[in-house]
Amino acid sequence: MTGDDRGDTSRSEPGEERPASVRTDGGAAGADDVALDPWGSSTVSDYRKLFEEFGIEEVEQILEEVPNPHYLMRRGVIFGHRDYRPVADAMREGGDAAVLSGFMPTGDPHIGHKLVFDEIIWHQRQGAEAYALIADLEAHSARGLSWEEIDEHARDYLLSLLALGFDPEEGELYRQSTNREVQDLAFELGIEANFSELQAIYGFDGETDVSHMQSVVTQMADILYPQLEEPKPTVIPVGPDQDPHVRLARDLASRMRYFGVTEAYASFEATPAELEVVAEAYEAREEYAEDPDVPRCTEAAEWLATEYGDDGGSALESAITKLENAGMEPLRPRTRFLDRRADEEAFEALIEAVEGEKRVFEGHVDAFDLERGEAEELARQLELDHGGYGFLPPSSIYHRFMTGLTGGKMSSSIPASHISLLDDPEDGYDKVKSATTGGRETAEKQRELGGRADECPVYELYAYLLAGDDDEFAKRVYDECVGGERLCGDCKEQAAQLMKEFLVDHQEKRAEVEDLLEETDIELESPRRR
């Protein structure tokens, strides 16, 4: 969940034809490796694979639903999301929503972190409650930083966040180590997590520190923290390497719920795959049932066996077995409340609250006159009434990694590859002037073939930062590059001047918000220092 600085390194061969259509997103795609590790050297060489392998959805498909979309969304820098619609709907309709992201203070804040700063601030200005945290427990346990080092870097992150426009009066800043509510929630979440799960997700083994594992559960608590007072759609802006954290948090949010709500067709429990099979049998009832108004489970089992034979796979086989065991029970669609962790009082209250026809079983209640949406609201309200959290699954948006100025990955350990928000403006100018480009070998080839803006770290600076909200300017730079009108020397000079101006302005604003930082409630010096 912490801000990251790793870059995309894919490159095309010299002389390669330009694509028929281009986007001013500064991104690159085409290789085949996807590896997501929140603490390691994650790489994404083809962002399209994230949609296929991890279920991340394209932001472009929901852009029209987002009020006043940020330029990072419009340019495809924010390229993916997980369940972002509830957040977009809430902001558009004036409902409650929240945004949260964290920063592991292991070095200077840099232009990669600025992406996340901007995303938090934009959501805050759209009406969402905004939370920014210093992941000091993670920095101490996973990276081994001293509390003195953490305090020094944390202050720099906070000053840059405030200088860019975060409003501390309308948002909350905190550090993991001093937020008792987060630590208490982490303890409760830890009851629902186990080592085998963390091992499968993060590759932990017998040599992994317990504190490192504990920091993971603390991050889960961070992600759900905005919902402690009341459930609300919450988005976590991160790089795609942090997606394992988001998926685990969504799973834990579900496990913490008193009741699950799903669909069913008979009294037995069915997996999602089995449920699809049973639903298909129900839809085909006219073909086999003696009385299509009251199809029987055994009739559905016989139809499925005849229709698919031995070619349906394990879900088909298990669904047929369950239908056969249900015998002459009618196959009827219903909404099911599953008792996950409710106490007896809450379960009895649920039974009482479900109106219309219902069936009560030991571990669930089936309602025949209640739509799923209504059932989910009822389940959440009953949970809140009986001391539960009622968490909504957290959403996420994902931005592309920035390519290092020297090519390859952007890394805090390679000063020339990135620009720190604390760099002397002249040094920032020099780094851009020395940056690798996507240009051709000679000016003549550049004019003939055009530049490779999609693979150029300097163009990324325009798309991600230097063009600001001016899409026309970003597109003009792109078009002039790929059209052969813009040569790399002039392009880098312009970018270097813009970067210098940005750093001068940003550092002046950092000085202006020093007093504002002192007035916030966040602890600037850790009580754990010795």
Rg (CA), the chain: 27
Tell me, yes or no, whether 310 and 324 share the same domain.
Answer: yes
In the predicted model, is pLDDT for residue 240 greater than 90? Answer: no
Range of the domain at 137: 55-257+392-403
User: SS3 for 234?
Assistant: strand
Residue 496: name the closest of 411, 435, 418, 421 by CA.
435
Tell me, yes or no, whether 232 and 331 share the same domain.
Answer: no
How many CB atoms sit inside 10 A of residue 89's CB?
15
Give percent of the chain above pLDDT 90.
76
Q: Which residue has the tokens 């003009």?
A: 476
Mean pLDDT value of segment 368-384: 96
Mean pLDDT value of segment 114-133: 97
Tell me, yes or no, whether 186 and 151 share the same domain.
Answer: yes
Is residue 77 within 8 Å of 464, Cβ to Cβ? yes
In the predicted model, is pLDDT for residue 19 greater than 70? Answer: no
Residue 492 placed within a domain:
no
* Tally: H helices and E strands in the chain: 22, 13
Q: Looking at residue 368, what is its pLDDT?
A: 97
Residue 142 placed within a domain:
yes
Confidence band, pLDDT 50/70/90 cuts, at residue 231 = very high
Tell me, yes or no, whether 175 and 304 share the same domain.
Answer: no
What separation in angstroms does the CA of 259 have from each of 168, 254, 336, 340, 388?
36, 9, 10, 5, 10
From 6-15, 254-263, 271-280, 298-307, the region with the lowest mean pLDDT: 6-15
Domains identified in the chain, total number: 2
In the predicted model, is pLDDT for residue 22 greater than 50? Answer: no
Per residue in 342-364, pLDDT (tens digit) is 999 999 999 999 999 999 999 99
User: SS3 for 43?
Assistant: strand
In the predicted model, is pLDDT for residue 5 greater than 60? Answer: no
Give the Cα separation of 314 and 316 in Å (integer). 5
Q: Looking at residue 43, what is its pLDDT?
A: 46
CATH code, domain with 240:
3.40.50.620
Tell me, yes or no, whether 253 and 370 share the same domain.
Answer: no
Q: Looking at residue 312, what is its pLDDT?
A: 63
In terms of C-beta distances under 8 Å and separation of at least 24 residues, what long-range contacts does 12-20 make, across chains too? 12/452, 12/455, 14/440, 14/441, 15/449, 16/452, 18/449, 18/450, 18/452, 18/482, 19/454
- Residue where one domain finishes, among candidates 336, 354, 385: 385
Give the Cα separation of 304 and 292 in Å (integer). 16
For 269-300, b where at least 16 C-beta lie within 10 A, e where not — what string? ebeeebbebbbbbbebbeebbeeeeebbbbbb
Between helix 313-326 and helix 297-308 the angle, nearest 10°, is 150
Give the Cα separation of 404 and 342 in Å (integer). 50
What separation in angstroms does the CA of 473 have from each of 437, 458, 478?
19, 14, 9
In the predicted model, is pLDDT for residue 457 greater than 80? Answer: yes
Confidence band, pLDDT 50/70/90 cuts, at residue 7 = very low
In the predicted model, is pLDDT for residue 30 greater than 50? Answer: no
Tell me, yes or no, whether 98 and 233 share the same domain.
Answer: yes
In the predicted model, is pLDDT for residue 446 greater than 60? Answer: yes
In the predicted model, is pLDDT for residue 54 greater than 90? Answer: no
Residue 515 placed within a domain:
no
Tell me, yes or no, whether 273 and 140 share the same domain.
Answer: no
Is residue 211 within 8 Å of 136, Cβ to Cβ? no
Confidence band, pLDDT 50/70/90 cuts, at residue 261 = very high
Residue 278 placed within a domain:
yes
Residue 338 placed within a domain:
yes
Residue 151 placed within a domain:
yes
In the predicted model, is pLDDT for residue 259 greater than 90? Answer: yes
Full-model pTM: 0.86
Tell me, yes or no, whether 94 and 205 share the same domain.
Answer: yes
Q: Which residue has the tokens 């330029």?
A: 71
Give the Cα separation of 466 and 474 in Å (integer). 9
Tell me, yes or no, whether 311 and 210 share the same domain.
Answer: no
Structure tokens at 429: 């100018």
Hey, what amino acid is at 512?
A: E
Confidence band, pLDDT 50/70/90 cuts, at residue 16 = very low
Cβ partners under 8 Å of residue 244, min gap 6: 36, 37, 38, 201, 202
Give the Cα separation of 5 and 238 in Å (integer). 11
Per residue in 491-526, pLDDT (tens digit) is 999 999 999 999 999 999 999 999 999 999 999 999
From 70-84, 155-169, 234-248, 305-319, the region with the lowest mean pLDDT: 305-319
Structure tokens at 498: 């813009």
Tell me, yes or no, whether 235 and 327 share the same domain.
Answer: no
CA atoms 504, 509, 511, 512: torsion sign: positive
Mean pLDDT value of segment 296-305: 96
Q: Looking at residue 13, what is its pLDDT?
A: 32
Tell me which of 239 and 86 has the higher pLDDT: 86
- Residue where one domain finishes, among candidates 374, 403, 432: 403
Confidence band, pLDDT 50/70/90 cuts, at residue 37 = very low
Confidence band, pLDDT 50/70/90 cuts, at residue 413 = low
Residue 260: name the closest of 378, 344, 87, 355 by CA.
378
Confidence band, pLDDT 50/70/90 cuts, at residue 33 = very low
Is residue 517 within 8 Å of 524, Cβ to Cβ? yes
How many CB atoms sit inside 10 A of residue 21's CB?
5
Tell me, yes or no, whether 90 and 152 share the same domain.
Answer: yes
Q: What is the mean pLDDT of the chain?
A: 89
- Residue where one domain finishes, among candidates 318, 351, 385: 385
Give the Cα separation of 336 and 331 in Å (integer). 14
Residue 280 placed within a domain:
yes
Residue 333 placed within a domain:
yes
In the predicted model, is pLDDT for residue 29 greater than 60? Answer: no
Confidence band, pLDDT 50/70/90 cuts, at residue 48 = low
What is the dihedral angle through the alpha carbons of 35, 37, 42, 45, rounded to the nearest 10 degrees? Answer: 30
Q: What share of the chain is helix, strand, coil (3-state, %, to 5)?
A: 50, 10, 40
Let me know if 194 is exposed, middle or buried by CB neighbors in 10 A (0-12, 13-18, 19+).
Answer: exposed
Q: Looking at residue 241, what is its pLDDT?
A: 84
Per residue in 479-499, pLDDT (tens digit) is 999 999 999 999 999 999 999
Tell me, yes or no, whether 89 and 188 share the same domain.
Answer: yes
Confidence band, pLDDT 50/70/90 cuts, at residue 24 = very low
In the predicted model, is pLDDT for residue 51 greater than 80? Answer: no
